[in-house]
Each structure stands twice: as C-alpha cells, then as structure tokens.
Amino acid sequence: KMTRVVVVGSCMTDLISYTPHLPNPGETICGHRFSVSFGGKGANQCVVATRLGANTAMVAMVGDDSFGQNYLQNFRDNGVDIAHVGVTEKAATGVAQIAVDDSGENCIIIVAGANLKLTPRDVERAEEVIKGSDVVVCQGEISMEATLAALKLARKHGVKTLMNAAPAVPNLHPDIIKHSDIFCVNENEAEVMTKRKVKTVQDALEAGKLLLDQGCGSAVITLGKDGAVFCQHGHQDFHVPAEAVTPVDTTGAGDAFVGALAYFLAYHPGLTMEEMMHRCSKVASVSVQAPGTQTSYPTRSNLQSTLFA
Ligand code: RIB
Ligand code: NA
C-alpha cells in the first residue's frame, strides 16, 4: 500500500461545550453538553481523506500524556500510518477548547503545545514517504518552519502541495504561499491575508487574485454556506455554491473540505477543479449536520457512489 496523501500538521484534543449562546467577556453561562473528541486541523483533514478511501500518513507530534496516547490509538483506529508521529516530553498534547452555540456557530481557543515541537528535522525524516506521495497537506497549527520544510520537500520531489492557512495569522512566512500549489483559506483568513473585507462571492474572487499575487499556484476561498471560489492565473475563476443544509455544528467543516480535496487530487486527478470542489463541498455539508469534527466525518460508504465516479 503506497501512501498517496501525507499530512504534516496538528493533532488536538477537542474539549467541546455546547451552549445556548457564545459567552461574552466576563460572562458565565451554563452549557448543556460536553464532549472530548479528536481534532486538530491536520489530523481532521487526514482522517477525512482516509475515510474517503485514501492511503494516508500523518507527520505530527503529540505529548507524552494520556491525550497523546489516545490520539495515537485514534490514528490506528482510522487506519492512518503513524510511523512519523512523534511523542515529546517537552509539551502537552495540543488542546482546543471549543464552544458551539445552538445555531452551530463556534468559538475556539487552541493551545498548540506539542504541535509546536515538531521540527523541520522531524519533517525531513519523512522524506521517503513524502517523495512517494501525490499530495502533501499543511495547515497553520504547527511551526511555520516545519510547514515550510514540508512544502519544500514536496516541491523537491514534484509532489503537489495543498496549504490550508488556518487559523489566520497576519505574518504568514511569504515562502509558505510561494510553495503552495493550492492555497486554501476561509473568508476570515482571506481578510487577514489580503487586508480587505471578504463577505461576498465577488469579494472572495478579488481576494483570490490578491493571493495569486502573493505567489501561490491557485487559490481556494471557502465561504461557509455560500460555497467556495477558485482562482488561477490564465484560467477562468469560478464559484461553487454549497448545498443549503441546517447546520448542527460547523466545527471542522473547512477541514472536511480540505481533506476531501486532498483525496480527490490524489485519486481522481482527471476531474476538473470545479468538479472536485463540488464534491468537497458535499462532504463538508454532510459534516455540518452532525456534532463534533472527526465524529461528523462520513466514510465512503455513507456517501453517494457518484462522488467516487
Ligand atoms: O478546524 C477545526 C479544528 O480546529 C478543531 O478540531 C480544533 O482542534 C481546532 O484546531
Ligand atoms: Na460537524
């Protein structure tokens, strides 16, 4: 079994409180439900790609604690190759404290912990598996140095790079976008990256062009219920609408989209980008209709077979 999708990224234990509304500063509110689950953008994306049928490997770091051990087991349970997931004594496994309100909106505090201990050297140890893959996927929850090392290794071996610059950082290393074949952000992250308001499809198309000017091969901007746009120099821009659904919990929907995109790039490279994005949007819309992140991701057998044609 050859690994076709490699995710170099984060693992977080999600501590999720479901509450009528999101708390204001200084306010104490009573939530109605709590759950501990597996999250982190990198791992979420890796699990989505795996559930769709990809052979995947994760390059990551967890802490030497129970959250870390449980996380390793979660990867095994999902069939993710963890030969390059390290355990560090220098920091605790990453955690995300998440509040989700009754409309499905969320608010997240992450403490990246062990994720920030993954070094460029650790990433370079995964060179062989990266070299043999089709797509390397990165996000913004590990150090920029480690991310850049991954993108550079992928480029060195002609492997496609998919960078999801989430969460938003105002000072993203300029080489990260330059090493991204596909640079994917949501509307908030696009605003931070372009210093412009991104509210409408038209705003997103304009922001996409500004991202291209920063050096990525192509740009995807996701807009939640409004779908996503795609921009690439020399190609027609387009907008892909999202299916209208009633969200239960939108946490991790962006990860469902990116993980699905990694899967389609590796396993259905003949599809147009527009068709891939339609299918990714379908996977993301399934995820918002169930609580949690990985707990809400469908497997291939839960989806219409036309998605894999
Ligand atoms: O994108 C959703 C993820 O962001 C959550 O799983 C949480 O861990 C945070 O990293
Ligand atoms: Na969900």
Q: Is the pLDDT of residue 46 over 90?
A: yes
Using pLDDT thresholds of 50, 70 and 90, give the confidence band for residue 170.
confident
Ligand number nearest to the C-alpha of 291? 2
Whether 175 sits among the annotated catalytic residues: the reply is: no
* Atom number of ligand 1 nearest to Cα 38: 6
pLDDT in tens, 8-27: 999 999 999 999 999 999 99
Say which residue, 291 or 134, is predicted with more confidence: 134
Q: Per the domain annotation, does 144 fall within a domain? A: yes
Q: Is the pLDDT of residue 245 over 80?
A: yes
Q: Per the domain annotation, does 121 fall within a domain? A: yes
Q: Per the domain annotation, does 101 fall within a domain? A: no
pLDDT in tens, 280-298: 999 999 999 998 899 999 9
What is the per-residue pLDDT for 148?
A: 98
Q: Per the domain annotation, does 305 fall within a domain? A: no
Q: Which residues pair with 59 in a beta bridge?
A: 8, 84
* Atom number of ligand 1 nearest to Cα 40: 8
Q: Which residues contact 128 (CB under 8 A, 6 or more apart)?
A: none
Residue 144: which of 172, 186, 182 has the closest Cα? 172
Number of folded domains in the chain?
A: 1
- Separation between Cα atoms, residue 105 and residue 157, nearest integer Å: 40
Complex ipTM: 0.98
Tokens standing for residue 203: 């705003």
Tokens standing for residue 56: 């995947």
Using pLDDT thresholds of 50, 70 and 90, give the confidence band for residue 1.
confident
Average the pLDDT over 206-212 and give the result.
98
For atom 2 of ligand 1, the residue with the nearest CA is 252
Q: Per the domain annotation, does 199 fall within a domain? A: yes
pLDDT in tens, 65-112: 999 999 999 999 999 999 999 999 999 999 999 999 998 888 999 999
Q: Which domain holds residue 215?
A: 5-10+41-89+116-296
Q: Per the domain annotation, does 49 fall within a domain? A: yes
CATH of the domain at 127: 3.40.1190.20
Using a 6 Å CB cutoff, which residues line ligand 1?
A: 12, 14, 39-41, 44, 96, 108, 110, 141, 251-252, 254-255, 293
Ligand number nearest to the C-alpha of 109? 1
pLDDT > 90 in the chain, percent: 95
Q: Per the domain annotation, does 22 fall within a domain? A: no
Catalytic residue among 101, 122, 181, 255: 255
Task: Tell me the CA–centroid distance for residue 296 and ligand 2, in Å.
Answer: 5
Q: Per the domain annotation, does 98 fall within a domain? A: no
Q: Which residues contact 168 (CB under 8 A, 6 or more apart)?
A: 140, 185, 188, 189, 191, 192, 193
